[in-house]
Amino acid sequence: MPTARDELKDLAKGFRWGRRPMVPRDAIEHTPVREERIFPTDWARTDVGVAVRQLLLSGVMKNLLNNELTIRTYGLENLEGVEAPVMFVSNHSSHLDATMIMTTLPDRWQAKTAVGAAKDYFFDVWWRQAFTALVYGGFPIDRGAGANAVSKARQLLDEGWSLVVFPEGSRTQDGHMQRFRHGASRLCIEAQIPVVPIGIRGAYQAMPKGRNWPHPGRPPVTIRYGEPIYPVEGETHQQLSLRMTHAVAMLFDEDRTTWWEALKREQAGETPALSGPQGPDWLRTWEGMRPIPKPGRTKTWE
């Protein structure tokens, strides 16, 4: 006979903590459509919000990351002389990604950069909404039909804000990069702003999907900023997306080898793709979890 404790556990499993109750399937068609509520985020990008965010990023989040991870940052010199706004685009392998980008950006970029975050996860309950808006200057992106997100992104670009976007749309399931969606490239072409590619290597091994905290032992993670990519006249969003994907792949290749070797392979059209091996899911996950080397002697050309 189940105890009171067992019954409480069953109740907790079935309760949607912090969310609206689920409507039974047979009642959905008879349930009035609920008006969508858009969480306000502009307050987090005021002068006060920016000051608090930079304090949190530099005084709390950065120290926390450095305590749990061994982080190496390269390529920030590529931002010198670049005028805002820009679109920062990165592979997406972990919940560490946005925090790593925001804590490694130089102050002048950090102060006026906002992160596009999935509405169905980061803007589902009030406390996560407030945290995302304050710490990342975040605004919601609807992974289904993102008309509101596109409108907000355009507004922010018009106001001089740079954006951090993960074109894959969601974190990788197996450690390998997914196809880039075209929303980011469309915005860049429409606004005629440059793309700054970012390659983050090791975040999946440190904290893959399903974990809420990094693995112990301060696993190594590398973040590389590439040279800006400018839209060219007549370029389609598909073509720009391919250039963005290739730029991130080049950063990974450089991190695995050296700048010179990666450049030679790029010139020969032999940059390794990041889509992973063909085969069963277990093989792809096995390869995706392959650990990256611990920091050691600085490689040639770095």
Give the whole-angstrom CA distance, residue 44 versus residue 130. Answer: 9
Asked if residue 11 belongs to a domain, the reply is: no
Provide the 8-state DSSP code for 51. H
Asked if residue 144 belongs to a domain, the reply is: yes
- Please give the model's pTM, rounded to 2 decimal places: 0.84
What CATH number is given to the structural domain containing 92? Answer: 3.40.1130
Given a cut of 90, is residue 124 above it in pLDDT? no
Asked if residue 190 belongs to a domain, the reply is: yes
Asked if residue 298 belongs to a domain, the reply is: no
Q: What is the pLDDT of residues 141-170, one digit of tens each?
A: 876 554 445 788 999 999 999 999 999 989
Q: What is the pLDDT of residues 185-225, one digit of tens each?
A: 999 999 999 999 999 999 999 999 889 999 999 999 999 99
Q: What local confidence, expressed as pLDDT, does residue 17 receive?
A: 46
Given a cut of 60, is residue 8 above it in pLDDT? no
Asked if residue 277 belongs to a domain, the reply is: yes
Mean pLDDT of the chain: 87
Maximum average pLDDT range among 19-33, 68-82, 123-137? 68-82
Asked if residue 234 belongs to a domain, the reply is: yes
Give the whole-angstrom CA distance, residue 258 versus residue 255. Answer: 6
Asked if residue 297 belongs to a domain, the reply is: no
What angle do helix axes 126-136 and 96-104 make, rounded to 10 degrees? 30
If DSSP codes are grouped into helix, strand and coil, which group holds residue 87? Answer: strand
- What the block records as the tokens of 112 is 């006026």
Asked if residue 29 belongs to a domain, the reply is: no
| Domain that residue 284 falls in | 42-288
The count of domains in the chain is 1
If DSSP codes are grouped into helix, strand and coil, which group holds residue 281? Answer: helix
